[in-house]
Chain A
Amino acid sequence: MLNQKRHVDLLTAFPILKRLLRSRSFQPGMMLLTLFVFTLVILTGLFGTPAGSRNFGIIFVWIVWWGLLIIMLVPFMGRFWCSICPIPAPGEWLQRRNIITKRLPKLRTLNKRWPRRFKNMWLQNFGFLAVALFSVIILTRPQVSAWLLLSFIMLGVVLSVFYKNRVFCRYVCPVGGFIGLYSMTSPLEVRVNDPSVCLTHTSKDCVTGNEYGYGCPWMVYPGRLDRNIDCGMCMECLKTCPKNNIALNLRPFGTDLTVQKAHKLDEAYKAFIMLACAMVYSIVLLGPWGELKNAANMQSLPHWLAYATGFLTFVLVLVPGIFGVFSSASWLLMKRSLPLRKVFIDFAYTLVPMGLAAWVAFSLGFVLINGSYALSVLSDPFGWGWNLFGTAEAPWVPAAPQLIAFLQTGVLVAGLLFSVQTGYKIAREQVGRHRKAFTVMLPNSFFLTLVTVVFMWLYLG
């Protein structure tokens, strides 16, 4: 393995953090807080002003929450959001018939089996695309946003009635899909201190649950956990592990991306979809082409159909296709020593840091520009002329507009460097020797550079 163990267990370093995360109240407490905001988002969406910039729901979901998620939480804390997300909370509490303490030995569900063919990311991929296609409408119309979020929470509840654990989060949630993928770059991970302890431990409380907590709601076996993608950081295993073997590690960025045994096509496609969507959004929402924006905004059905067709072709065919050409070059350079499909999927993981950087750069643009709306909607969440905290008349002030381009450039360059480094590591795992790996990764690095240049041109043009 190339990865030397370079990490710090935060639970050992900060006992107070361990106490907090072991407490059965912490997660539900956070969930109640986010559920409060969520309920307000739904209410303002359904009953408040249709003017997006004056509506708490739009501003707090698509600017405040989104900004926090993509710029702060995902890059630095991985799937932490999933542990405090309000959407699965009602369903989970229904399954447990309790909010805080563990009461029942087993979850109350109809115990249906989740179909095998959906035990992957494809539903999340297409769910995300479906939302992305209507995003311009969703982002600007509070009512549409509210119904969308309501449908998520309803789906979460319904699925929790039929299936055990967090099936919605792992296989369905369109947001969970990309948070999972990008959390592999984050420097925070839940792992076991010593895998050999788990091997010899027969009762596997982390899977079955005990009086201190439930079996892993994410259907993961912590003893073999080696990627962040499926771990929702709910810390249930920390509560149940009788061996005190669970760690919350601080580690180098992007550690999970080179673990090859679990590279899959659905995840590779998630990487394509996310990267391509960041590009489409940047073009449509920030670009100078009003026609495109109108088409995305459903100016007319034919316009939108043309936009949707173009969008899907670009995301699902064009970007993977161009990437495929570069992967084929790598494959030829390694004298076809591995199957082309494997080379293609492996190298797709180099798009993860790049994609995350692109989303951060894109989001910095509108979050800093529009962040100040948060002040006025706090005082007048419905746009009804209230002034709860005296900030209703707060003017719209773009934050650091002259800095945005520099920040975006820095983020994109960092993303490129991380991606190139990931490409090198993957190539080393594929072909072993340094010189050969360097040759094999060249086409991929060229593709990554090309993508970065396109983003730079879009943002700095």
Chain B
Amino acid sequence: MTFREAAARTILVVILLGLPIGILGYRYVLQPFLSPETTFEVQAYAPESGGFSPAVIQVEAGKEVTLRFTSMDVTHGVAIGPGLDAAIDHIDPGEQGEITLTFDKPGTYTYYCTTWCSADHWRMRGIIEVRDPVNPDLLPQVQSDPVIEGLLEEGIDIDADHEGEALAIAPSAARGGDLIESVIVPDEVRQVDWQRTHSPAEALTILQTQNASYSDAELRDVIAYLWMLNTTSTVDTIQTYNQNCAACHGESGNGAGPAAYLTADVPAVFDDPGYMFSMRADVLYAKIRRGGMGTDMPNFGTLFTREETWALVDYLWLLAFEPTLNE
């Protein structure tokens, strides 16, 4: 055999065997061995085409992981929750984005799309099961939510149709602020816990008995002010609302977002003070976390922490009683 022939055969073997073995060996054997960080490739398709692939990822607590998302069809956004503050605003078709994080505690987390990508956008979710390396069979169960339990005990039907009364004048927290010093307000009505389990209408009934000289409209202003006192909303909350709620409920809360026409039931109108005045915060909270049966309102309990959910509810009051603050 000539030298050239031997060289050609060697090159052939390198191409046909060396190249695949080298690349795949490095990728699937050597790389995981060398670096502690695990990378998960996740393809993002609109839900109609399959949503996230894979849709379930298992990781060990305390280990750094990277999730690389590739957008396969339209622009998607990705966030991981609850309570991780990990998000990629948008990934254009064919582009990639990655999130690197360490899950400290075992439990179940959700990665979800944050950009309106299709009619079924909200279904675009995947689950991360974070397991304890010492005890991998034990996956902490989701704790029951005392707020939702409380509503059930009270016999309140979260899914009942809620009709508000039309108000001639929209309550204004700003005007209420001017009156708050002169109006008698029982202490409990000022408490967050009380406000979260009662509607503004119930507060009005209480205030009316002690403030006969004031008109109902004035008292409503005061209540709007009280409801604004303890708000926990932040700039992040507004972004959360805009990314996850505005498509149906509208950025202003007018119930006429671009996807409102797709839903089975008319989306709730948060900037209708009459509707909100007879609404309870804990019912709003429960609707957000548990979803609305048959209305196409998704459940967000697996996406947001309880604190984030309360912040969202507080923001809804803001839309109802102080829409100008949002402009």
Determine which residue in A98, A100, A384 has the highest number of CB atoms from chain B within 10 A of its CB, and name it: A100
Question: Residue of B at shortest CB range from A47?
Answer: B24
Question: Residue of B at shortest CB range from A381?
Answer: B23
Interfacial residues of chain B within 30-60, with CB under 8 A of chain A in the complex: 39, 41, 43
Q: With A32-B15, A39-B15, A43-B23 in contact, is A54–B5 under 8 Å at CB?
A: no
Spot the interface stretch: B6-14, B102-110, B219-227, B265-273: B6-14
Chain A residues closer than 8 Å to B23, beta-carbon distance: 43, 47, 382
CB 8 Å contact bits of B287-327 with A (1 = contact, 0 = none): 00000000000000000000000000000000000000000
Question: Residue of A at shortest CB range from B98?
Answer: A385
Q: Say whether A337 faces chain B, with CB atoms less than 8 Å apart.
A: no
Is there an interface contact between A40 and B96, defined as CB atoms closer than 8 Å? no
Q: Say whether B63 faces chain A, with CB atoms less than 8 Å apart.
A: no
Chain A residues closer than 8 Å to B8, beta-carbon distance: 25, 28-29, 32, 99-100
Interfacial residues of chain A within 79-103, with CB under 8 A of chain B in the complex: 93, 98-101
Question: Residue of A at shortest CB range from B27?
Answer: A384
Interface size classification for chain B:
20 to 34
Q: Say whether A177 faces chain B, with CB atoms less than 8 Å apart.
A: no
Is there an interface contact between B94 and A100, defined as CB atoms closer than 8 Å? no
Is there an interface contact between B4 and A25, defined as CB atoms closer than 8 Å? yes
Q: Which of A28, A40, A93, A385 contacts B68 (CB 8 A)?
A: A385
Complex: how many Å from CA A69 to CA B40? 37
Is there an interface contact between B70 and A36, defined as CB atoms closer than 8 Å? no
Q: Say whether A228 faces chain B, with CB atoms less than 8 Å apart.
A: no
Is there an interface contact between A39 and B20, defined as CB atoms closer than 8 Å? yes
Complex: how many Å from CA A28 to CA B15? 13
Chain A residues closer than 8 Å to B11, beta-carbon distance: 32
Q: Say whether B16 faces chain A, with CB atoms less than 8 Å apart.
A: yes
Is there an interface contact between B72 and A51, defined as CB atoms closer than 8 Å? yes
Is there an interface contact between A35 and B15, defined as CB atoms closer than 8 Å? yes
Is there an interface contact between B27 and A40, defined as CB atoms closer than 8 Å? no
Q: Which of A32, A51, A93, A98 contacts B70 (CB 8 A)?
A: A51
Q: Which of A25, A47, A54, A99 contacts B27 (CB 8 A)?
A: A47
What distance in Å separates the Cβ of B219 from its nearest Cβ neighbour in chain A? 56
CB 8 Å contact bits of B61-77 with A (1 = contact, 0 = none): 00000001011100000
Chain A residues closer than 8 Å to B19, beta-carbon distance: 36, 39-40, 43
Question: Residue of B at shortest CB range from A36?
Answer: B15
Q: Say whether A52 faces chain B, with CB atoms less than 8 Å apart.
A: yes
Q: Say whether B2 faces chain A, with CB atoms less than 8 Å apart.
A: yes
Is there an interface contact between B12 and A32, defined as CB atoms closer than 8 Å? yes
Q: Say whether A383 faces chain B, with CB atoms less than 8 Å apart.
A: yes
CB 8 Å contact bits of A347-384 with B (1 = contact, 0 = none): 00000000000000000000000000000000000111
Question: Residue of B at shortest CB range from A384?
Answer: B27
CB 8 Å contact bits of A89-120 with B (1 = contact, 0 = none): 00001000011110000000000000000000
Is there an interface contact between B94 and A53, defined as CB atoms closer than 8 Å? yes
Q: With A49-B70, A51-B94 in contact, is A43–B20 under 8 Å at CB?
A: yes
Is there an interface contact between A101 and B2, defined as CB atoms closer than 8 Å? yes
Chain A residues closer than 8 Å to B94, beta-carbon distance: 51-54
Chain B residues closer than 8 Å to A101, beta-carbon distance: 2, 4-5
Question: Residue of B at shortest CB range from A51?
Answer: B70
What distance in Å separates the Cβ of A459 from its nearest Cβ neighbour in chain B? 24
Q: With A32-B11, A32-B12, A39-B16 in contact, is A100–B4 under 8 Å at CB?
A: yes
Is there an interface contact between B96 and A51, defined as CB atoms closer than 8 Å? yes
Chain A residues closer than 8 Å to B12, beta-carbon distance: 32, 35, 93, 99
Determine which residue in A28, A36, A51, A99 has the highest number of CB atoms from chain B within 10 A of its CB, and name it: A51
What distance in Å separates the Cβ of B37 from its nearest Cβ neighbour in chain A? 11
Complex: how many Å from CA A382 to CA B39? 14
Chain B residues closer than 8 Å to A29, beta-carbon distance: 8
Is there an interface contact between A99 and B9, defined as CB atoms closer than 8 Å? yes
Interfacial residues of chain A within 29-44, with CB under 8 A of chain B in the complex: 29, 32, 35-36, 39-40, 43
Is there an interface contact between B15 and A50, defined as CB atoms closer than 8 Å? no
Complex: how many Å from CA A62 to CA B247? 38
Chain A residues closer than 8 Å to B39, beta-carbon distance: 384-385
Interfacial residues of chain A within 9-63, with CB under 8 A of chain B in the complex: 24-25, 28-29, 32, 35-36, 39-40, 43, 47, 49-54
Top 3 A-B pairs ranked by shortest CB distance? A53-B94, A99-B8, A51-B70
Query: Can you name 27 A-B pairs with beta carbons within 8 Å?
Result: A25-B4, A28-B8, A32-B8, A32-B11, A32-B12, A35-B15, A35-B16, A36-B15, A39-B16, A40-B19, A43-B23, A47-B23, A47-B27, A49-B41, A49-B43, A50-B72, A51-B96, A53-B94, A54-B94, A93-B12, A99-B9, A101-B2, A101-B5, A384-B27, A384-B39, A384-B41, A385-B96
Residues of A in contact with B (beta carbons under 8 Å apart): 24-25, 28-29, 32, 35-36, 39-40, 43, 47, 49-54, 93, 98-101, 382-385
Given contacts A43-B19, A43-B23, A47-B24, 14 further A-B contacts (CB under 8 A): A28-B8, A32-B12, A39-B16, A40-B19, A49-B43, A51-B43, A51-B94, A54-B96, A100-B5, A100-B8, A101-B2, A382-B23, A383-B41, A384-B39
